[in-house]
Structures are given as C-alpha cells and as structure tokens.
C-alpha cells in the first residue's frame, strides 16, 4: 500500500523553501498532493487557479521524476476531508522556526482528532529557512530581486504580471 501525503499551503507565491519541502516529501511518500488552500485570515495576492499553475510549472522545471506529485486546490471544507477523499494519512508542513511550530501545532492536534490524520513537520534547507511568501510579495512589490527566493517561473510572473494582478485585486 502506497502512503499518501498532503502538503497544504496558501503558496502565495510558492517559494524555493516550499519547493524543497515538496521535493523531499515526494522522495519519501508514494503519492503527494500539493494542495493550495484558501486561508480566510490572509488576503491573497495571486488567484488560486494561477497559484496552482505556477506550482505545476515550478515542479515540472525542478523535479525530474514528478509522476507521484499532484497539484490541486481546496477551498471548501476541512483539509482532513480532502485527506480522507484521497486516502492520505499524513499532512506534511514546512516549518521555518518556533513561530511556525507554535502556529501549526494546534492545527495538527485538531486534524488528528477530527480525521485521524498525522502531521509531520519538515524543516526546509537552511538557505530557505528565512523566506516566506509574504516577504517575497513585499520585496517584489517594491521592485526588489526575488530570484534567490522563488522558482524562475514565479520570478517571471512577479516581474511581468504583478502590476496587473494587484490592479485586479484592488479594483
């Protein structure tokens, strides 16, 4: 029986740290679902469908054997419901530091209680541990170089389409 893992996140946008966690998860589990979730406490910059597309392109560019990686979105219901639907028994969360542990631990406990889904925390490689999507959005919005923090397809999107995206969101 193949073990199925879910790597959820808002991925607004996907960073090299996210990609590192996804790649290493795919090396451990038989099937990995990267799930773009709607976080009601965050104001997203990039529409969910575009985030899914950027993740798919980033994975295609970075992962040579990606047959076991599926990218989806989930905006209605509990993440444990998605996990149950696809037969996943593990949620993998990237953790940059103690603040992430403090934030993620209660959710991990509730997910185990609600759906008997275990959560595994995975540290990104140290060169990516300081990078967050919100930091990338801020640097990009101020015209800074985000190439050390995101896959090339995301850098191109942020440099080329960000003004249009922000204009659409603010309209």
How many of the other CB atoms lie within 10 Å of CB of 111?
21
Q: Is 129 annotated as a binding residue?
A: yes
Is 70 part of any known ligand binding site?
no
Give the active site residues. 18, 42, 96, 133
**Annotated binding-site residue? 95:** yes
Any binding-site annotation on 38?
A: no
Residue 29 labeled ligand binder: no
DSSP H or E run through 103:
helix 98-115
Question: 4-26 burial string, b = 16+ CB within 10 Å, else e?
Answer: bbbbbbbbbbbbbbbbbbbbbbb
Q: Which residues are annotated as a binding site?
A: 10-11, 18, 42, 79, 93-96, 104, 128-134
Q: Which residues does the annotation place in the binding site for ATP? A: 10-11, 18, 94-96, 104, 128-134
Q: Which residues are annotated as a binding site for substrate?
A: 10, 42, 79, 93
């Amino acid at each position: 029986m193949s073990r199925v893992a879910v790597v959820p996140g808002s991925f607004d946008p996907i960073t090299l740290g996210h990609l590192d966690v996804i790649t290493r998860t795919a090396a451990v589990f038989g099937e990995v679902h990267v799930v773009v979730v709607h976080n009601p406490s965050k104001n997203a910059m990039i529409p969910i469908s575009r985030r899914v597309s950027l993740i798919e392109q980033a994975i295609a560019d970075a992962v040579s054997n990606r047959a076991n990686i599926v990218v989806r979105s989930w905006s209605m219901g509990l993440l444990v419901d998605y996990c149950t639907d696809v037969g996943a028994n593990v949620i993998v969360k990237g953790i940059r530091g103690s603040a992430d542990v403090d934030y993620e631990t209660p959710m991990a406990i509730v997910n185990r209680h609600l759906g008997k889904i275990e959560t595994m925390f995975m540290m990104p490689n140290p060169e990516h541990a300081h990078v967050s999507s919100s930091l990338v959005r801020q640097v990009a919005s101020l015209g800074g170089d985000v190439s050390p923090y995101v896959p090339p397809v995301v850098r191109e999107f942020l440099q080329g389409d960000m003004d249009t995206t922000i204009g659409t969101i603010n309209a």
